[in-house]
Structure 1
């Protein structure tokens, strides 16, 4: 056994001095760190965005596994193409057509979840010090990827209609004046994670034009677009431009995350490099998982199953909004028309991250807003996930959360010279635009 080299290191890691500089950007996700606590049965978890996979037809999933092994076993268990199984890529075209995207199968790259697609795009485009523009707040998994490539995430303000075009213009001008290199805009336009809002149709075209005029690529991450409740969202940005947009999709929310199957739809030149980057990282995505997903799409009424998911999540969204209205009428939150999340804003002075240990003691968990900002913002904000708990558990969780918030507010009042917090006063349930923290 070799001996670690001498060096300053740390008390726990003798290899510290040998790590690449970019590893300084690796940090534990606040969302993942919550899973151990939130998995305790007595805790109502409003933290993780876990799909309710129990709503899937187990017989069809089991049949897909069996069919693949009986008819394609040797192929399914072998290495495959770095671009993905052709038959599944054809099926992905059918899925994207549900959102009015029409493309060539040659431009689809299958990935190990859309998380890998984010990583591959970052690997292709980001040099240390580059800038990525993203909503404030933004998806924690993407922020972590950009940080790992030593890029800087610059947040752009959003409101109840999504990313604000004027704020985007201002952020671009400010970064260019500072000499920064902006590589791309990362956006989750449909039922945003974590904010729950949807980018309006008018803003989609305006934001695309801003990106075009500044030579900025758009990365459109769309795992929730088919999970609408009352009406579908506007067509994806990708429908407006097939050269300036890389569109990311996933089966994690509309089927199951355990398959780890996602995809990227990219312009030709980017597509070729994505395949090369994927091959260098993993040789090829799992042929077996892709074939099982493909068989499911061939044999099941997957459109009807997505509609089942819509009904499940709509009921749970309604339960959360009703509970918030009853127990926390003085706060503001978003009213999502799809997806998994509600974004809650606390009174100024309350810190959702510092409050979390007390919440766990009261047997409820959520994700603090700081997880979704690269710059430490979001201290008085939190993400509440309604996708996994039953409506009854959601109501219980909000009641427990109310106890925590009112307790923290009372403590703050005791030390405040500005008067008591009005947690119980009525207000509109809309998203308050965060500051432009770019």
Structure 2
């Protein structure tokens, strides 16, 4: 029986890579004929990515990782001007390496019982669709965010040059895979099926790495301390504050967050990063926190640098989550039934926050339009939102619990996402 090989090209950066590898594992679980080769681009500010990818795939022998050669990154000033343009330039510099690697892969399989069936490109890598076309292989696009974000990308005005170049290639894919599920975004997904100009859309989520992301500078003693303290807290009594791998704030904003938490009277676990320190790690809190804060909250809260977000959200003591609203974080919180307070910072997080609060009613609004460097979010606003999210009988908490059950059912045999993945595999393998 002929076996099928898929070539994955995840976006650079741990968040995109994690989602891409989890999707790969999900596909392999569905079909024994499949194997996957993943081409890994290493960005200059993600030094831990090699150990991370190895840990993710250690248990799956049918995923092969190929580290692509290093390239010279774009000038750093482009990153401060437009992170999206920086990533797109970085990805395009890899096109010759990807083409050479794919040629080698196809050549190595020419006399075997394995054929390359197609490509799955992260949406930041759609400039590589031309490579798939050169080899007469179907290109599929993986959107690591939600259906609302996909809808925005498909309707971007032309004046947004950096991203519209990406969005314009979406129609060139054989299909678009989205990390969402039908029960979460039914209206957005239905709108795609009504538009014949859009390729088939496959909602396959929630695609999550539920074992948590390893960290190169993990402090096991600190981790044990965090989990032991959570074990001692009543159920749903602690609010967790965590703002992603790039989630650091100015000292004045840090002080407002601290005062807001203190004012709320709620127990808390706060993962705080500092720009410029290794991995944005927790260094000298006394330099930015209100005077006497650590003494006043002793026993009521814990502050740390990196925190194991998945393990924390899964803990019975966690009752609320103040989040930057990255899509992976939202899906993790929904999986564990933990309602979110929205504190978006960058990228598409403002869109995610708006959808979660205004459209889906699954989050408590703190801010929908905050960006780093904008007006301060005040302590009073923070305290009010934290108190609101921790109410045990709130409508938001009830809705989140219901959506958690729907998300878990979606990926089970017979669920909406399970069925969508089955259809995706059939379409990919039947395209040649």
TM-score normalized by the length of structure 1: 0.27
TM-score normalized by the length of structure 2: 0.27
Greater relative CO, 1 or 2 (CA 8 Å, sep 6+): 1
